[in-house]
Every structure is written in C-alpha cells, then in structure tokens.
C-alpha cells in the first residue's frame, strides 16, 4: 500500500508547529490561523491543515475552543514528562533516570523467556486459538496458587484467582463487581496517585486516611468514614513511605471489615523485594472473615509490558467475580498465560526473584550512599523498589525542575491528598546499574535542586 500524499505533508506541518511551540515562537494561548487561511498560505488542502491541527490537539499541544478557533494549549510547557507517562512509559525508548514503576530492564532473562514462549508458540494447537476461561487459564491460576502458598503464606484455590491485564484492570473488576456509585473508599494519604482518577470515575467517594509509622491509621478511618465500603492499602510496604502495617492495625482493620461488611483491597505490589528482616505475612493470610481481596502483579517482578496481574477473592465472592469477568473475556492472550505458567512452574520466576533481591539491595545501596554523600537524607525503608529522600521547601517545584532536565523524580506532595508532612522526592533505583551511574545521576540532580 502506498501512503496517501497527505500523510507526510500533514506530519511535516504538525512537526513544524510543534517545533515552533517548543522553541517558544508560538506561546500558550496563542490563536492559530483558521485552517482555510493557513491552507491557502501553505498551498495545501484545508484537510491537510485540519489533520495537522487534529494531531496536535490529540497530543495536547493545541486545543480547540469551538467557534473561537484553535489555540496553543494553556498548559503546554516544553520538555517535561507528564506524571502519567512516568507510570505508563512515554514515547522515549529509554527509561529516564530515577523513573519509577519499572523493574531492572537490563536484568530480565529475555533469552530464557523467549525460549519458554518459543516452545509454546511451536506447539500451539488450533484449539489454543479459541477463547479460554473468562477468569484466566487453569494452569496459570494453579501456578499462582502455589507461588502464593510458598512465598506469601496464602492458602487459596485456583477458582479464587482472576487473571487481569494489570492493577488498573484488577481495580475495575473489583469496583464493578462489589461497588456501587457513592460508595466510600479509604485511600492511603500519601499514596499511589494514579489509581485515583479510575476510582473517582466509578463514582466512588475517595476518603484519604493518613499514614504514620505503623502504616494506615485505621483509627482515623474509623472516625472519618466508618461506613466505607472499601479500604485500599499497601500493608507490606506502604507506597511511598515504606512502613509495614503493624499487626494490631491489621487485626483492627479486619475487625472493622468483618463488622461493617467492608472489603479490604490488599495491594501487594512489591512485597517480593525486601532486603533485610522477615516481612509480615499478607493481611490475606489472616483473612478468617473472608473480607480481603488480594491484588498481585507481574509488572514489578517480571516486566510491565507483560500486562498480567491477578486477584485472589474470597470464596463466597467467586461467583459474582466470575459473572462480572464474563461480561468480557479474559484480556490476557492464552499463549501468554501458558508461557507465564511454564515460566513459574519451571522455576525461572523464583530464580529471577532471588537474583533481583540481591541486585536491588545493591542498587539501592549505591543510590542511598551517593545521596547521603551529597548531603541528602533518605527515609529508611526495609525494601521496595523506590526510595524517598526528604527535601526542604517546595518539593513540587523541585520535581518540576528535575523533570525539565529529564530526571523523572516525583514530589511526595503530589502523592498526598489532605495530609501535611515532610517534603520529599520519590525516585527509583532499579535501573541504576553501577555506582558510577548513581554518582552521575545524583550529581545531575544536585546541580538542579540544591
């Protein structure tokens, strides 16, 4: 197929406009010529100009204001990466320094993975082309059950496991199955910000609950929103502060959920990565009243492009979850699920986790040590794949400056809702592969924020 003549031409125009915006020639709020006028000026069709404008509107560079015309977007600032792109990956092929939410991309055994998937690919039968179980493949669910039993002291049946395309999809499944418009949900404050719009979009009321050095303040939750229907939290290693939810709080939380018939959503996103001491078992392992929904993901323990996460739901809720899941088929391709099941069953997953714990302990130490040497202070944490350094002053402004220099640090204040407390910068060390690299990146950061 040939490209239409308009293809390259409109892209040429949109590139020129984008460059003009980036170089400050076209400033935010500036009105663009009407497409008819601009088309005459350039000697192209009006559709070509419309296509160029449309592309830039789609990318957020321009905005349309009805009859008034097309304008350079008010919010356009050249360079910086939006918060979303930090989580979901931008268009840059290479991760930026300190970029969060990514495991160590250099250490994943790609060749091993390719062998396991290649074997499945070659032995695929025609029946593997049809849709599988709406809740996920039996083989993968069984592998997850065994992993959870061995590694997280959770006893469950394969039927309780639901395979999804990621944590956001898991949250959607939970809220659509058990929630209704107006339900209240406790959220950790500070806590992972990028899941909030999804929850709000479902019509839920977000109830921020403070976090102290024992984790989520259950007492505050009981006072502020005792009638909440959900509590979403990261008990193993609070994101971002890194504290573990204390045992008394765990029992208090379970008592509340049992008494009020509320649901605890345990986000166990990084519990595999603890480098010293023995972690508390998950709240799910204490779940006698059957009120805990456990959410796990392979995005951190394997890689994000895998698009595979899972839920463990209480037995009495399995039928309701299955009904909701059957409104759409399981989004993870069958071959993908079978490959993952093999990868776990054959021990590659365990070996990889073991290796990563050593590497992450080392990489964390490189970053922490370098920060301390540069006079920064780091919040002590037992594990995890991110780090918080405390700063003086406006952390949002510091983070903005960092991002303008392509350092993907985040402001602790951007993870807060109502809570007040120390300022800080969040950063990841997972892709720092040497002490020299840590030193170079920290020097860049210091030059900008000191």
User: Scanning residues 11 to 70, which ones bind a second copy (CB under 8 A)?
Assistant: 50-51, 54-55, 57-60, 64
353 contributes a contact to a second copy by CB under 8 A = no
CB-nearer residue toward a second copy: 78 or 203: 203
What single string gives the DSSP state of each residue in 352-420?
Answer: HHHHHHHHHHHHHHHHHHHHHHTT-EE---SB-SEEEEEESS-HHHHHHHHHHTT---EEGGGG-SS--
Which part of the chain contacts a second copy (CB under 8 A), choosing from 114-122, 209-217, 366-374, 442-450? 114-122
Instruction: Find the shortest distance in angstroms from Cβ 183 to a second copy.
Output: 14
Q: Coil, strand or helix: which one is 264? A: strand
Q: What angle do CA 137, 142, 145 make, to 5 degrees?
A: 130
Which part of the chain contacts a second copy (CB under 8 A), choosing from 184-192, 280-288, 304-312, 362-370? 304-312
Residue found by looking up tokens 């009495």 in the block: 316
Taking CB under 8 A as the criterion, the residue among 175, 217, 334, 408 binding a second copy is 334
What's the 3-state SS for 81-105?
CCHHHHHHCCCCCCCCCCCCCCCCH
Q: Which of residues 269-298 bind a second copy (CB under 8 A)?
A: none
Taking CB under 8 A as the criterion, the residue among 307, 400, 406, 422 binding a second copy is 307
Taking CB under 8 A as the criterion, the residue among 39, 178, 332, 432 binding a second copy is 332
121 contributes a contact to a second copy by CB under 8 A = yes
Q: Which of residues 180-209 bind a second copy (CB under 8 A)?
A: 181, 197-198, 201, 203
- Distance, in Å, from the CA atom of 145 to the CA atom of 152, rounded to the nearest integer, reads 10
* Cβ-contact 346, 355 below 8 angstroms: no
Residue found by looking up tokens 């003549």 in the block: 5
CB-nearer residue toward a second copy: 79 or 316: 316
264 contributes a contact to a second copy by CB under 8 A = no
Instruction: Find the shortest distance in angstroms from Cβ 131 to a second copy.
Output: 4
326 contributes a contact to a second copy by CB under 8 A = yes
71 contributes a contact to a second copy by CB under 8 A = no
The long-range contacts involving 341-345, CB below 8 angstroms and separated by at least 24 positions, are 341/137, 341/139, 341/140, 341/142, 341/143, 342/116, 342/119, 342/120, 343/112, 343/113, 343/116, 343/302, 344/140, 344/143, 344/144, 344/146, 344/147, 345/139, 345/143
Which conformational region is residue 371 in: left (phi greater than 0), alpha (psi within -120 to 50 degrees), or beta? Answer: alpha
Taking CB under 8 A as the criterion, the residue among 20, 42, 134, 222 binding a second copy is 134
Angle of the 334-345 helix axis to the 110-122 helix axis, nearest 10: 120
CB-nearer residue toward a second copy: 322 or 422: 322
CB-nearer residue toward a second copy: 318 or 417: 318
Taking CB under 8 A as the criterion, the residue among 191, 221, 304, 383 binding a second copy is 304
Instruction: Find the shortest distance in angstroms from Cβ 137 to a second copy.
Output: 10
CB-nearer residue toward a second copy: 22 or 159: 159
Which part of the chain contacts a second copy (CB under 8 A), choosing from 20-28, 119-127, 252-260, 261-269? 119-127
Which conformational region is residue 75 in: left (phi greater than 0), alpha (psi within -120 to 50 degrees), or beta? Answer: alpha
448 contributes a contact to a second copy by CB under 8 A = no
Which part of the chain contacts a second copy (CB under 8 A), choosing from 88-96, 219-227, 281-289, 367-375? 88-96
318 contributes a contact to a second copy by CB under 8 A = yes
Q: How many CB atoms lie within 10 A of CB 410?
A: 28
CB-nearer residue toward a second copy: 106 or 394: 106
CB-nearer residue toward a second copy: 165 or 419: 165
Handedness of CA 283, 285, 290, 295 (dihedral sign): positive
Residues near a second copy (CB under 8 A), total:
82
- Distance, in Å, from the CA atom of 327 to the CA atom of 321, rounded to the nearest integer, reads 10
149 contributes a contact to a second copy by CB under 8 A = yes
């Amino acid at each position: 197929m040939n490209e239409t003549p308009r293809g390259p031409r409109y892209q040429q125009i949109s590139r020129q406009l984008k460059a003009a915006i980036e170089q400050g020639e076209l400033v935010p709020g500036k009105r663009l010529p009407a497409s008819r006028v601009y088309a005459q000026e350039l000697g192209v069709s009006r559709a070509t100009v419309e296509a160029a404008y449309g592309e830039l509107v789609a990318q957020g560079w321009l905005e349309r204001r009805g009859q008034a015309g097309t304008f350079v977007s008010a919010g356009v600032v050249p360079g910086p990466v939006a918060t979303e792109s930090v989580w979901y990956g931008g268009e840059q092929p290479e991760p930026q320094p300190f970029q969060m939410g990514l495991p160590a991309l250099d250490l994943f055994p790609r060749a091993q993975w390719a062998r396991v998937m290649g074997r499945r690919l070659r032995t695929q039968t025609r029946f593997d082309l049809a849709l599988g179980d709406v809740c996920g493949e039996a083989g993968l669910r069984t592998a997850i059950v065994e992993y959870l039993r061995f590694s997280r002291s959770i006893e469950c049946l394969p039927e309780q496991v639901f395979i999804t395309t990621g944590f956001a999809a898991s949250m959607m499944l939970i809220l659509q199955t058990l929630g209704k418009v107006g339900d209240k949900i406790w959220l950790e404050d500070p806590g992972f910000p990028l899941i909030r719009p999804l929850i709000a979009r479902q019509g839920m009321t977000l109830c921020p609950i403070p976090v102290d050095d024992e984790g989520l303040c259950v007492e505050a939750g009981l006072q502020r929103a005792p009638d909440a229907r959900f509590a979403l939290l990261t008990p193993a290693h609070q994101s971002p502060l890194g504290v573990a939810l204390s045992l008394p709080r765990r029992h208090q939380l379970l008592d509340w959920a049992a008494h009020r018939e509320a649901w605890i959503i345990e986000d166990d996103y990084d519990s595999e990565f603890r480098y010293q001491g023995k972690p508390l078992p998950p709240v799910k392992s204490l779940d006698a009243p059957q009120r805990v929904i456990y959410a796990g993901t392979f995005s951190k323990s394997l890689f994000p492009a895998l698009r595979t996460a899972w839920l463990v739901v209480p037995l009495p809720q399995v039928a309701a979850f299955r009904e909701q899941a059957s409104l759409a088929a399981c989004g993870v391709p069958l071959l993908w699920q079978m490959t993952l099941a093999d990868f776990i069953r054959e021990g590659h997953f365990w070996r990889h986790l073991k290796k990563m714990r050593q590497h992450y302990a080392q990489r964390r130490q490189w970053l922490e040590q370098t920060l301390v040497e540069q006079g920064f202070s780091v919040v002590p944490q037992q594990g995890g794949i991110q780090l918080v350094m405390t700063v003086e002053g406006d952390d949002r402004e510091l983070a903005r400056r960092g991002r303008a220099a392509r350092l993907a640090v985040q402001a602790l204040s951007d993870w807060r809702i109502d809570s007040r407390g120390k300022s800080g910068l969040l950063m990841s060390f997972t892709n720092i592969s040497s002490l020299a690299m840590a030193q170079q990146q920290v020097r860049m950061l210091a030059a900008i924020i000191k």
